[in-house]
């Protein structure tokens, strides 16, 4: 019987996930535009046998430019560069269904899968915020439900495009002078409320058939979307009870969509702040928190909560008259997570800013390598997680500490691989290579016609 194994992804985020990490003496505030820096981090994660590395993205200059480093390399471009300096680790890029078109994005992601020999993944986001909308000629962001309706049709089109070539379409028969069998490449002729796409894609089916489909929304619309499409879900869950309930909910929705719940990997984010002793870890956390500029952080918190910054007094709790989640058209699940965190722990605005500064609502764990490993094991073995999105507070030192001190403990406990056993990201996650849906549809139609 196969023993269940943890999945670990590295969430790369400039100098680290703590917003003040760039102010530490050893930090390079220009690193986020340095390819060699990203290559070094990717190799550390690959040497530690991580499943994948993950890049977030947004089509907007986000927040106050004075707060932390801004301006990032577009993730699919960066992953293409990282693909040639790594050989086994998966490569996941974020791309928006609201501000892309299916053909171009399907082609770009298929290209990364080819370049990486089957290691690509797509983190599917719908993109909240008026600022992003205005970068694409819109006066306001589309409604939350409309963004998810577009996203679902976007996935229909993209997967049809990836299936528009049969796996055996390319024969390269020099003697016969036939490179590709024309009847094995099909138009998709998609006609829907958001997209009209003829196809086929101008690239053969890639090594994984198509990239691993990852999703990060935890609203009701987001969970419904995950149940239909997601093969891995990145989520922010502050407690083990909430994480277990979330995992059960998403996997139930997958079953309702006729899917195997084991083919949906639930991967909460965790921000480990490590020290050889608890005291050492607490000292690093305190140093980082001292470097937060509270005036920047309050502005960002006010934008998230849709309130006037002046209504957020640093040494008082959040106001009682905050909007309901139903009134939020942006990132609903993140809004709710922040408000519930503040209410549950009776945090002042200043304390909440400190909690969010480390991981924007993801679980921050400060302690020794053994304590972090214990927490990971508990969440994994109780069904709260299939693995974790590792979000080091400081890079590269936080990744180095995790790889050198936490990963060996997980390996010794039999929870995490000591060597890669597969070559593709699907193999790392234990996911099947998707069957060609268009092929099955054609075969079914031919059978009906011949009967």
Q: Residue 382 gets which letter from DSSP?
A: T
H/E segment holding residue 53: strand 52-55
The CA–CA distances, whole Å, from 75 to 133, 331, 349, 365 equal: 20, 21, 33, 27
Task: Sort 212 into a burial class: Cβ within 10 Å, 0-12 / 13-18 / 19+.
Answer: buried
- Please give the span between the terminal C-alpha atoms of the chain, in angstroms, as a whole number: 43
Residue 28 annotated in ligand binding: no
Residue 218 annotated in ligand binding: yes
CB 428 within 8 A of CB 420: yes
Q: Helix 220-229 to helix 240-256 angle, to the nearest 10 degrees?
A: 50
CA 154 – CA 100 distance, rounded (Å): 9
3-state helix, strand, coil in the chain (%, to 5): 45, 15, 40
Q: Residue 98 gets which letter from DSSP?
A: S
Residue 249 annotated in ligand binding: no
Those residues with Cβ within 8 angstroms of residue 289's Cβ, 6 or more apart along the chain or in another chain:
20, 354, 357, 358
Residues 391, 395, 398: CA angle, nearest 5 degrees: 65
Residues 159, 432, 93: CA angle, nearest 5 degrees: 55
Q: Which residues of 189-210 are buried (b: 16+ CB within 10 A; e: fewer)?
A: ebeeebbebebbbebbbbbbbb
CA 122 – CA 162 distance, rounded (Å): 13
Residue 64 annotated in ligand binding: no
Residue 420 annotated in ligand binding: no
Residue 450 annotated in ligand binding: no
130 CB neighbour count, 10 Å cutoff: 13
Binding-site entries: 57, 94, 144, 148, 218-219
Binding-site entries for FMN: 57, 94, 144, 148, 218-219
């Amino acid at each position: 019987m196969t023993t269940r194994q943890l999945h670990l992804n590295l969430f790369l985020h400039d100098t680290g996930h703590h917003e003040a990490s760039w102010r530490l003496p050893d930090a390079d505030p220009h690193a986020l535009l340095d390819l060699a820096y990203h290559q070094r981090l990717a190799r550390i994660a690959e040497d530690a046998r991580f499943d994948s590395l993950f890049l977030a993205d947004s089509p907007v200059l986000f927040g106050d430019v004075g707060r932390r480093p801004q301006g990032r390399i577009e993730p699919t471009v960066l992953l293409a560069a990282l693909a040639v300096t790594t050989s086994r680790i998966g490569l996941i890029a974020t791309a928006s269904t609201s501000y892309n078109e299916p053909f171009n994005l399907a082609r770009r992601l298929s290209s990364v899968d080819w370049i990486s020999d089957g290691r690509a993944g797509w983190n599917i986001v719908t993109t909240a915020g008026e600022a992003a909308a205005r970068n694409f000629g819109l006066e306001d962001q589309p409604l939350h439900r409309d963004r998810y309706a577009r996203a679902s049709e976007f996935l229909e089109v993209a997967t049809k495009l990836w299936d528009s070539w049969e796996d055996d379409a390319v024969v390269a028969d020099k003697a016969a002078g036939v490179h590709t069998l024309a009847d094995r490449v099909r138009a998709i002729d998609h006609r829907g409320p958001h997209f009209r796409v003829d196809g086929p894609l101008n690239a053969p089916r890639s090594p994984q058939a198509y990239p691993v489909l990852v999703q990060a929304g935890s609203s009701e619309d987001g969970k419904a979307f995950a149940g239909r499409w997601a093969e891995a879900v990145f989520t922010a869950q502050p407690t083990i009870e909430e994480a277990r309930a979330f995992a059960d909910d998403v996997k139930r929705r997958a079953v309702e969509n006729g899917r195997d719940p084991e083919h949906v990997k639930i991967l909460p984010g965790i921000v480990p702040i490590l020290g050889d002793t608890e005291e050492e870890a607490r000292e690093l956390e305190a140093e980082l928190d001292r470097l937060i500029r509270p005036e920047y952080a309050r502005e960002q918190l006010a934008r998230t909560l849709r309130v006037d910054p002046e209504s957020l007094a640093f040494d008082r709790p959040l106001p009682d008259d905050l909007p309901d989640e139903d009134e939020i058209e942006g990132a609903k699940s993140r809004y709710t997570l922040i408000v519930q965190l503040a209410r549950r722990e009776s945090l002042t605005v200043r304390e909440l800013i400190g909690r969010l500064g480390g991981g924007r609502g993801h679980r921050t764990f400060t302690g020794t390598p053994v304590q972090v490993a214990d927490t990971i094991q508990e969440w994994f073995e109780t069904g709260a997680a299939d693995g974790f999105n590792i979000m080091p507070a400081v890079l590269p030192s936080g990744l180095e500490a995790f790889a050198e001190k936490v990963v060996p403990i997980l390996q010794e406990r039999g929870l995490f691989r000591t060597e890669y056993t597969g070559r593709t990201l699907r193999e790392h996650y234990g996911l099947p290579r998707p069957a060609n849906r268009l092929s099955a549809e054609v075969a079914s139609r031919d059978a009906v016609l011949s009967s």
